Amino acid sequence: MKKVIFPKPLKKGAKIAVISPAGAVDTTQLEKGIKLIKSKGFEPVLGEHLYSKFSNGYNYAGTEKERIKDINWALNDKEIGAIWASRGGYGCQHLIQHLNLKNFIQNPKWYIGYSDNTVIQSYLLKKGFASIHGQTIKTSSFGVTDESYELIFDLLKGKTPKYSLKSHKLNKKGDIEGELIGGNLALIYALLGTKYSFDFKDKILFIEDIGENFYALDRMIMSLELAGVFNKIKGLIVGGMTNMGDEKDNKDYEASFDGFAYKLIAERISKYKFPVVFGFPNGHIKDNRPLVIGGTARVKIGDKVKIDF
């Protein structure tokens, strides 16, 4: 199996490109995140179309051409040390057919984001490069913990995360080690059957989502089953399931792990023997701790859950 490449740790003063590959943002939404980059000793470099807006059934951060231009600049500019997405939303699928990794291959860099950015991360992993599934620059309405950002900066400096969690009642115990894949469930689902889909064979799959009706959640899980995903993976980690179904009042941390959504998932995968972690703090939630897509995860699921890379 081809070894996944990790980008080199960033040195003080390194340049971090901030781009908007999907939904539109305004300056006020990014002020805090950009200041944070500076406070950590790095130099944020803003994409040309970071604050552009283009409405076409959705408010995109510029036209497809503009967003493609920005991401290819960030991927290939030799002075850029990492790429941090401003937000998710929708639009990354427009870009993947046009991505250029000519200089990136010689100078790999971390790509940081989640939600719609799962598409970009699947693409990078297909090419053999790890990425960070973590908080975007835009702080969402539910907020972001300081630790969520601190752990990303640790990763940028070369320190991989270690997690110790309470056990969830729906967990399936076991010890597993394997390459971590996944991200936002809707995007994993959207890529099924395409050449950009994750390779699920002997992998540990992570999923999270927000704002889906329960029948839509069930449909996506059913599609994974019909595609044979659950016969291929070594284990499953389930993160935030926020504002699912008709439950629109989930505002605190615990509510981010929607109980009924978890019940639906647990029922669908009950016949499979692989170990499962429910309640991992990553996703559209306040406590959004980063995971390394393409990293080798060691997972121990017992009375406590321990995950390290």
Active site annotation includes 179: no
Answer whether residue 253 shows pLDDT above 80. no
Per residue, the 3-state secondary structure of the chain, as one string, reads CCCCECCCCCCCCCEEEEECCCECCCHHHHHHHHHHHHHCCCEEEECCCCCCCEECCCEECCCHHHHHHHHHHHHHCCCEEEEEECCCCCCHHHCHHHCCCCCCCCCCCEEEECHHHHHHHHHHHHCCECEEECCCCCCCCCCCCHHHHHHHHHHHCCCCCEEEEECCCCCECEEEEEEEEEEEHHHHHHHCCCCCCCCCCCCEEEEEEECCCHHHHHHHHHHHHHCCHHHHCCEEEEEEEECCCCCCCCCCCHHHECHHHHHHHHHHCCCCCCCEEECCCCCCCCCCCCEEECCEEEEEECCEEEEEC
In a shared domain, residues 150 and 183:
no
Would you say 294 and 178 are in contact if contact means Cβ atoms under 8 Å apart?
no
- The CATH number given to whatever domain includes residue 44 is 3.40.50.10740
- Residue 294 sits in the same domain as residue 166: yes
Last residue in a domain, options 156, 190, 222: 156
Which residue of the set 148, 208, 212, 256 is catalytic?
Answer: 208
Inform me whether the pLDDT recorded for 302 exceeds 70.
Answer: yes
pLDDT bucket at 246, cuts 50 / 70 / 90: low
Would you call 79 a catalytic residue per the annotation? no
- Asked whether residue 193 falls in the same domain as residue 107, the answer is no
Percentage above 90 pLDDT, the chain = 91
The dihedral through the CA atoms of 175, 135, 112, 68 has a sign that is positive
* One domain for residues 152 and 74: yes
116 shares its domain with 231:
no
Q: Are residues 124 and 41 in the same domain?
A: yes
What number is the average pLDDT over the span 10-15?
97
**Which amino acid, one-letter code, is at 197?**
S
Q: Rounded CA gap, 49 and 68, in Å?
A: 10
Do the Cβ atoms of 49 and 74 come closer than 8 Å? no
> pLDDT category, 258, cuts 50, 70, 90?
confident
Residue type (1 letter), 261: A
Q: Which of 156, 182, 212 is the last residue of a domain?
A: 156
277 part of a folded domain: yes
Q: Are residues 125 and 31 in the same domain?
A: yes
Distance of alpha carbon 214 from alpha carbon 281, whole angstroms? 21
**Residue 284 forms part of a structural domain:** yes
8 within some domain? no
The answer to the question of residue 7 being in a domain is no
Domain containing 215: what range?
162-308
Q: What is the pTM of this model?
A: 0.95
Domain count of the chain?
Answer: 2
| Segment 122-135 mean pLDDT | 98
Residue 114 scores a pLDDT above 80: yes
135: in domain: yes
Domain with 166 in it: what CATH number? 3.50.30.60
Give the integer Cα–Cα distance in Å for 217 and 211.
Answer: 10
Catalytic site residue from 20, 179, 212, 284 = 284
Q: Which of 115, 122, 131, 256 is catalytic?
A: 115
Show the tokens assigned to 105: 């291959």
Is there a domain that residue 199 lies in? yes
Q: Are residues 66 and 139 in the same domain?
A: yes
Same domain (yes/no): 149, 276: no
What is the average pLDDT score of the chain? 95
Residues 212, 293 share a domain? yes
Residue 195 lies in a domain: yes
Quote the CA–CA distance of 201 and 30 in Å, as a whole number.
38
pLDDT exceeds 50 at position 251: no
Tell which of 110, 125, 156 closes a domain.
156
Percent of the chain with pLDDT over 70: 96
Assigned domain for 41 exists: yes
Q: What is the pLDDT of residue 252?
A: 37
Identity of the residue numbered 25: V
Q: Catalytic site residue 55?
A: no
Q: Are residues 262 and 131 in the same domain?
A: no
Q: Does 194 lie in the same domain as 80? A: no
